[in-house]
Amino acid sequence: MRIGPIEAAPGQHAFGYIPVAASRSGFAPDIPVHVFAGTQPGPTLLVQGAIHGAEIIGTVAILDLIAELDPSRLRGNVIAVPVVNRTGFEFGERGSRIDGKDMSRLFPGNPEGSVTEQVAHAYFDQVIQRADVMLDFHAGARTAYERYVLFGAEADPSNPSDMERIRRKLVVAFGLDQAAFFPPGTFGQNQAKAAIEDAGVVQLTLEFGGGTGWYANGRQNVDDARRGIWNTLKAMRMVDGDFASDGPTCTVYNANVVIWKPDVDGLFLRMKRFGDRLDAGDVYARLVDPVTGATRAEIRTPEAGIVIPSGQEWPTIGATSVGILGVIDRVENREEMDLHVDLVPKEVA
Amino acid sequence: MMPTPTLLAGVPVEPGSHIVHHLHAATTHGGFDVAAQLHLLRGATPGPTLVVHAGMSGLEIEPALTLPRWLRSIDPRSLRGNLIVAPLFNLSGFEFERIEAAWDGADLNALGAGRVDGTVSEQLIHAYASTVLEQADAVIDLRTGAQWGYYRYAGVHDVGGSERIESSLALAASLGLPHAALGEPVGATLAGAMAARGITWVTAWLGGGPGLRDHREVDSQALEHLLDGALAHLGMSDGSPADPAPMLRIHTILRPEAQRGLTFMDTSLRGSQVSAGTELGVVRDPFEGHVVRSVLAKRDGTVLHAGASWPVVPEGSTLAILADPL
């Protein structure tokens, strides 16, 4: 398999960088890519981390996977990209400091655009389009903690498309006990996700870990992320083996309530834990004066729901969502499902 | 003990009362106020003056979640002496989420005792040192690991004479933290400048963002316990000080050097005895995953701290601290 200048013969692992656009000073955030070419035909899995540069739990899991993956025992190909957004990674930031843009929103990119638009174009063209399935690792960076599989809302849940049927299985196969989808338009229009799906790539987003949990939970989150990648390889029939998971069920939430930070600011103090049930109007968090401790604002949920494992922990917050509530859409039972998916590979090793 | 002041931070405070004071120090060219917000508590009976401040770094903000609550538990009518508390000193750093003061980029911990005719931050530190710290019988400088580290020890600077050092160590040992350690870096710190003037000073390292999710209440209670212990130790309350902590002398502070990458420190080593050459952590290549460097103990010692908790560490971060018994 050849990705840009990186070529792996069957049974081999190759590593290199995809050249991308340079900034005004010549700084070029070339993208590091590992290619594992299997010895038998099969689909291609792309695993990527740190497209938001500070969200690095998936990065560590991918590095661990790289040390374990034996291409001679692989059916199909694995493309592993531990850090997509090198400038964001360098500066511990979500987007790119070169032009302030968020690459994850820019696909399919623009070869004539800003540096990040050009990077997005090169990455989409040379990497993403080659995949059958894409695992995109996100996290809470240093300020929030997350733990669920995120996937796109289905147009007609009673009549899912072939891609949506495959995705449903992969969501459960990944092995977490919780998954969620957002109603369309929750965070604005995302043409990038549509571009990826239009390219025939089944996409899962993993919201996994975060800094405020790293001290106690970092290693466990990395191990669970790596377990999820292996589960996906098994589900895609690229390797053999049994699935491992948090437990027999995966609760799928319709994450229909996003709690936003109000205009008032202060030290953020979350009052609710994951799994708590809130009624409309209940207090989710408080903003307190850092000197007197007086409450400046109570952040209340506009609608009832259950706190899904996603939310701000650190006491200072930007203009962002601080919590997500959902209602249970369904509970999937792994023990009653065949988690394997059959894909028509784009690539032949 | 210093004579009981009639003014606290330059303002009158009635015995048995608690006020919040805005200590104005300077004005920026854009007209913004450079100031500190201080709680001033004057006890009903005379006694020592304890100053507690946190958030000299605009990112070390966690104590501000606890200090106002703790202050509400203090009845100044039953207090002996005076208590001055700045829950979040570096307000501009907090506002703009940075270590330094936003107005002039100055690290408030690195300006010595400030200058009356210096930058606005130097003026702020000068005002604070001259009107507040010089009144103090004891100062507790609360530090945390912000978003990168997780700490638990009380540090003392090895300057200012044996009497000052002994009183600082005694205070440090009374705070309920696992260790009291002599050998905090001095450099151009405010702590060093005030210690050189003979003021009892403890830099208490407690908590950090990585513990917020899992240890928020534990750390908050530990901070309240620490402050209660200080009041008891100084005779300002009727409480009991914590059992004395073992005392150590810091001999090694490890920071990022040579190869950079994803840094993983073995936090489980904290408090344990290690020998020279023990691997305290590793640095991994962020794109290929292999270990590019082992972080090794350079000599035998007790691991006082083994951060950082977040794998991407800013330059100059403390990765580990080793110490010997004092």
Instruction: Tell me the pLDDT tens digit for each residue of A185-201.
Output: 787 777 999 999 999 99
Contact call for residues B241 and B228 (beta carbons, < 8 A): no
Written as six digits, the tokens of B98 are 């940075």
H or E stretch including B165?
Answer: helix B162-173
The full set of domain ranges for chain B reads 7-245, 248-325
Cα dihedral sign, A243-A244-A248-A252: negative
Residue B242 confidence (pLDDT) above 50: yes
User: Which of A196, A225, A247 is the last residue in one of the domains?
Assistant: A247
Q: Chain A residues with CB inside 8 Å of B65's CB? A: 267, 269, 288, 315
Q: Which pLDDT belongs to residue B218?
A: 86
H or E stretch including B71?
Answer: helix B67-72
Written as six digits, the tokens of B275 are 């020998």
CB spacing of A267 vs B310 below 8 angstroms = no
A83: closest chain B residue by CA? B287
A32: closest chain B residue by CA? B287
How many angstroms separate the CA of residue B276 from the nearest CA in chain A? 25
> Does one domain contain both A75 and A179?
yes
CB spacing of B65 vs A211 below 8 angstroms = no
Interface of A with B in 164-223 (CB under 8 A): 211-218
Side-chain-facing half-sphere of A155: CA atoms under 13 Å: 7
User: Average pLDDT for residues B154-171, to the nearest whole number?
Assistant: 97
Residue B245 confidence (pLDDT) above 50: yes
Q: Which pLDDT belongs to residue B241?
A: 84
Is A348 inside any structural domain?
Answer: no
Pick from B37, B147, B287: CB nearest A314: B147
Percent of chain B with pLDDT over 90: 82
Which residues, at least 6 apart from B7, have a Cβ–Cβ distance to it below 8 Å?
A: B13
Q: How many CB atoms lie within 10 A of CB A160?
A: 14
CB spacing of A290 vs B94 below 8 angstroms = yes
Decide if A56 touches B, using CB distance below 8 A. yes
> Does one domain contain both A83 and A223?
yes
Pick from A59, A92, A291: CB nearest B68: A291
CB spacing of A290 vs B64 below 8 angstroms = yes
Q: Tell me, what amino acid is at A126?
A: Q
A&B contacts, CB < 8 Å: 115
CB spacing of A316 vs B37 below 8 angstroms = no
Contact call for residues B14 and B46 (beta carbons, < 8 A): no
Pick from B69, B262, B267: CB nearest A293: B69
> Does one domain contain both A266 and A160?
no
Which residues, at least 6 apart from A282, have a Cβ–Cβ distance to it below 8 Å?
A: A272, A300, A301
Residue B301 confidence (pLDDT) above 50: yes
Indicate the pairing of strand B247-254 with strand B320-325: antiparallel
The owner of tokens 């000197």 is A291
DSSP string, A111-152: TTS-HHHHHHHHHHHHTGGG-SEEEEEE--TTTEEEEEEEEE
Q: Which pLDDT belongs to residue A349?
A: 46
Is A342 inside any structural domain?
Answer: no
Decide if B289 touches A, using CB distance below 8 A. yes
Decide if B267 touches A, using CB distance below 8 A. yes
Q: How many distinct structural domains can be found in chain A?
A: 2
**Angle, CA B62 vertex, CA B58 and CA B64 arms, to 5°:** 85
How far CA A309 is from CA of A205, B115, B156, in Å, comes to 14, 49, 41
Look at residues A242, A291, A301, A248 and name the one whose alpha carbon lies nearest to residue A270.
A301
Decide if A313 touches B, using CB distance below 8 A. yes
Q: Chain B residues with CB inside 8 Å of A66's CB? A: 288-289
A81: closest chain B residue by CA? B287
Q: Which pLDDT belongs to residue A22?
A: 85
> Does one domain contain both A270 and A193?
no
Is A179 inside any structural domain?
Answer: yes
Three-state secondary-structure class, residue A166: helix
The owner of tokens 């998971």 is A245
With b for 16 or more beta-carbon neighbours within 10 A and e for fewer, the A321-330 pattern comes to: bbbbbbeebe
Residue B209 confidence (pLDDT) above 70: no
> Does one domain contain both A213 and A293?
no
Is A80 inside any structural domain?
Answer: yes
Indicate the pairing of strand B180-184 with strand B247-254: parallel
Helix orientation angle between B212-233 and B162-173, rounded to the nearest 10 degrees: 130
Residue B5 confidence (pLDDT) above 70: no
> Does one domain contain both A287 and A184?
no
> Does one domain contain both A222 and A101?
yes
Contact call for residues A340 and A42 (beta carbons, < 8 A): no
With b for 16 or more beta-carbon neighbours within 10 A and e for fewer, the A205-244 pattern comes to: bbbbbbbbbbbbbbeebbebbbbbbbbbbbbbebbeeebe
Percent of chain B with pLDDT over 70: 96
What residue ranges of chain A have pLDDT lower than 50? 349
Q: Which pLDDT belongs to residue A108?
A: 97
CB spacing of B69 vs A15 below 8 angstroms = no
Q: Which pLDDT belongs to residue A149?
A: 97
Q: Which pLDDT belongs to residue B1?
A: 63
Contact call for residues B283 and B143 (beta carbons, < 8 A): no
How many angstroms separate the CA of residue B163 from the nearest CA in chain A? 34
Look at residues B96, B48, B17 and name the one whose alpha carbon lies nearest to residue B236.
B48
Written as six digits, the tokens of A275 are 């799994």
Look at residues B227, B229, B228, B172 and name the one whose alpha carbon lies nearest to residue B195.
B172
Q: Which pLDDT belongs to residue A102?
A: 94
Q: Tell me, what amino acid is at B5?
A: P
Look at residues A162, A106, A152 and name the one whose alpha carbon lies nearest to residue A343.
A162
Report how far residue B16's alpha carbon sits from residue B11's, in angstroms, rounded to the nearest whole number: 15
Three-state secondary-structure class, residue A259: strand
The owner of tokens 């009653």 is A336
Decide if A60 touches B, using CB distance below 8 A. yes
User: Which of A213, A228, A247 is the last residue in one of the domains?
Assistant: A247
Is A340 inside any structural domain?
Answer: no
Q: Which pLDDT belongs to residue A293?
A: 92
B60: closest chain A residue by CA? A315
Written as six digits, the tokens of B56 are 């000299």
User: Which of A224, A247, A270 is the last residue in one of the domains?
Assistant: A247
Residue B70 confidence (pLDDT) above 50: yes
Mutate to test the interface with B, among A214, A223, A274, A320 (most CBs of B within 10 A): A214
CATH 2.40.170.20 describes domain B248-325: no
> Does one domain contain both A203 and A310?
no
| φ/ψ (deg, to 5) at A88 | -65, -40
The CATH number that applies at residue A171 is: 3.40.630.10
Helix orientation angle between A211-235 and A57-68, rounded to the nearest 10 degrees: 40
> Does one domain contain both A94 and A225?
yes
How many angstroms separate the CA of residue A163 from the nearest CA in chain B? 31
Q: Chain A residues with CB inside 8 Å of B311's CB? A: 56, 60, 214, 218
Q: Which pLDDT belongs to residue B167?
A: 98
Residue A34 lies in domain: 2-247
Q: What is the model's pTM?
A: 0.89
* Residues B93-128 pLDDT 10s: 998 989 999 999 999 999 999 999 999 999 999 999
Q: Which pLDDT belongs to residue A234?
A: 98
Pick from B62, B72, B87: CB nearest A291: B87
CATH architecture of residue range(s) B7-245: 3-Layer(aba) Sandwich (3.40)
